[in-house]
Structure 1
Amino acid sequence: MGVGIRPAGADDRELIVRLLDAAFQDDPVSGWVFPGEEYRRTTHHRLMAAFTDVVLAEGRIDLTEDGAACALWLSVPADGPGTADGAEGSGASGATDEAVRLREAVDPANPRVEEITRLVVESHPRDRAHEYLWMIGVAPDRQGEGLGGALVRHVLGRCDREGLPAYLEASSARSAKLYERLGFAFTGRALDLPDGPRMWPMWREPRTRRPSAS
C-alpha cells in the first residue's frame, strides 16, 4: 500500500512544529545547538517553528495523510539562496544578517543558532537551480516504516521529469546512507560544527529515463 501525501497549509503549522520538534530531539545537530535535554525540550521547538514559517511562506511542505511525517522543500534558483528566508542579500554578508535575525527571534543568548545558520547558508550551492530538502521529520514511533523515503521520492520523481538536481545536508552518517540509496552523493566537503558533529552536504543529479522500446 502506498503512502498518502498531501501539501500542507497554514492550518497544519502546529502539527508540523510538534512533529519536527519530536523527530529532531535526539538529532546530533539539534543536540549541539541546544545542549542538555531540558534546555532542548523547552527551546528547540522555537527553531522548528521558525523553519516551518519560512517554508510555508517561501516553499512547500509535504505531509503524510496520517500526519506522521513531513518534508520541507524550497525551490532554489541559480545564484541563490541569498539567505535562509529568501530575503535580499548574498554571500557572507547575507548569511550573517540572516543568522543574526534567526538567533534574535529564536534564542537570543544562543550563539549556536547563529553559527549553524551562517555555515549552512554560506555553504549552499549557488550555481544551478535545484530543489532543496531543508528538513524531513518522522514521528519517533513511526520511524523505519519508509515514510521519509516516500516523501523524498514524491519530489524526486518531479525532479527527474523536469531535469532538476536536488540538494540537502544530512545531519548524521546514518541519514547520509539512507539518502545515498535515493541517489544523493556526498559533495566532498563536510560541514564540521565547532566542537560538534559533522553534517554531510549531498547533491543528486536528475535521473534521465530511457525511452521505452517501440
Structure 2
Amino acid sequence: MGVAIRRAGADDREDVIRLLDAALVHDPVSSWVFPEVEHRVRTHRALMGAFLDIALDEGYVDITEDGAAVALWWSVPAGHGDGEGDDAAQAGSAADGPALLRRAVDPDNERVEVIGRLTEAIHPTDRAHEYLHLIAVHPDRQGEGLGTALVTAVLDRCDRDGLHAYLEASNARSRDLYARLGFTFMGTTLDLPDGPPMWPMWRAPRA
C-alpha cells in the first residue's frame, strides 16, 4: 500500500510542531544550535514553530495522513536572494531573516542567527528549484519509508515539470538516503563552527 499524503494547514500547527520537536530535538544540527540539553528541550519547540509558520506562509507543508511524518518545502525561483535587479529590495529584507528569527526564538543565542546566515550564503540561486527545508518522522515510526514517500512525491512532480531540487542533509544517514533518491553532494560541506557538517545536495530532474 502507498503512503497517503496531504497538504497541511493552520489547523495542523500544534500537531506538526510536536512532531518536528520530537523527531529533531536530538539531530546533530539542533544539538549544535542548542548545546545545553535542558535549554534545548525548553526552546527547540519554539524554533520548530517559527520554521513551520514561515513554511505555511511562504511555502508548503506535506504530512502523512496518520500524522507520523512531515516535510517543509519552498518553491524557489531562479535568482532568488542574489540581490540583483528588481529583487534587490526584497533580498535585502530577507537578509534580516536570521536576525529576526533569533530575536523571536532565543535572543541570547547567536547560533540561531549564524546557521541561518550560513545556509543562506550557500543556497543556489541560478535555477528554480524545490527546497526541502525540514523533514521529520516520529521516532516510533522511523524506518518505515514515510520520509522517503514524502520526498518522492515532490520529486515525481519535479521530474514531470522539469524542476530541480535542493536540500542540506544534517547527518550522514540522511545524506546517503537522499543520494539514493537522486541527490548529488555539491562538493563542499557546510561546517558549522565547532560543530557538525551539513551536506548541500542538488538533484536534476529525471527524464
User: Normalising by the residue count of structure 1, what TM-score does the alignment of the two structures yield?
Assistant: 0.91
Q: Relative to structure 1, is the Cα distance of residues 27 and 52 closer, same or farther in structure 2, using a 3 angstrom cutoff?
A: same
Give 3-state SS (helix, strand or coil) of 1:109's partner: coil
Write out aligned runs for 1:44-193 (5 A).
44-81=44-81, 88-90=89-91, 96-193=95-192
Name 1:23's counterpart in structure 2. 23
User: Alpha carbon RMSD of aligned pairs, Å?
Assistant: 1.7
Paired with 1:15 and 1:202, the residues of 2 have a C-alpha distance of 29
- Deviation of 1:89 after TM superposition, in Å, equals 3.7
Deviations 1:98-135 (A, max 9, x none): 11111001100000000000001111000000000011
- Deviation of 1:39 after TM superposition, in Å, equals 1.0
- Deviation of 1:95 after TM superposition, in Å, equals 6.0
Q: Relative to structure 1, is the Cα distance of residues 109 and 89 closer, same or farther in structure 2, using a 3 angstrom cutoff?
A: same
The residue type equivalent to 1:52 in the other structure is: L
Give 3-state SS (helix, strand or coil) of 2:79's partner: coil
**Structure 1: gaps spanning 5 or more residues:** 209-214
Write out aligned runs for 1:196-207 (5 A).
196-207=195-206
- Deviation of 1:36 after TM superposition, in Å, equals 2.2
Paired with 2:199 and 2:56, the residues of 1 have a C-alpha distance of 25
Q: Relative to structure 1, is the Cα distance of residues 138 and 81 closer, same or farther in structure 2, using a 3 angstrom cutoff?
A: farther
Deviations 1:131-168 (A, max 9, x none): 00011000001001000000000100000000000000
Paired with 1:33 and 1:163, the residues of 2 have a C-alpha distance of 35
Paired with 1:145 and 1:37, the residues of 2 have a C-alpha distance of 28
The residue type equivalent to 1:167 in the other structure is: Y
Q: Relative to structure 1, is the Cα distance of residues 88 and 62 closer, same or farther in structure 2, using a 3 angstrom cutoff?
A: farther
**Structure 2: gaps spanning 5 or more residues:** none
Paired with 2:88 and 2:44, the residues of 1 have a C-alpha distance of 24
- Percent identity of equivalent pairs: 64
- Please say if residues 62 and 151 of structure 1, whose CA atoms lie closer than 8 Å, have aligned partners that are also in contact: yes
Paired with 2:2 and 2:56, the residues of 1 have a C-alpha distance of 25
Give 3-state SS (helix, strand or coil) of 1:166's partner: strand
- Please say if residues 73 and 131 of structure 1, whose CA atoms lie closer than 8 Å, have aligned partners that are also in contact: yes
Paired with 1:47 and 1:75, the residues of 2 have a C-alpha distance of 21
- Please say if residues 64 and 70 of structure 1, whose CA atoms lie closer than 8 Å, have aligned partners that are also in contact: yes
Paired with 1:15 and 1:160, the residues of 2 have a C-alpha distance of 31
Paired with 2:160 and 2:63, the residues of 1 have a C-alpha distance of 22
The residue type equivalent to 2:184 in the other structure is: A
Deviations 1:74-107 (A, max 9, x none): 0000111469xx99543xx556521111100110
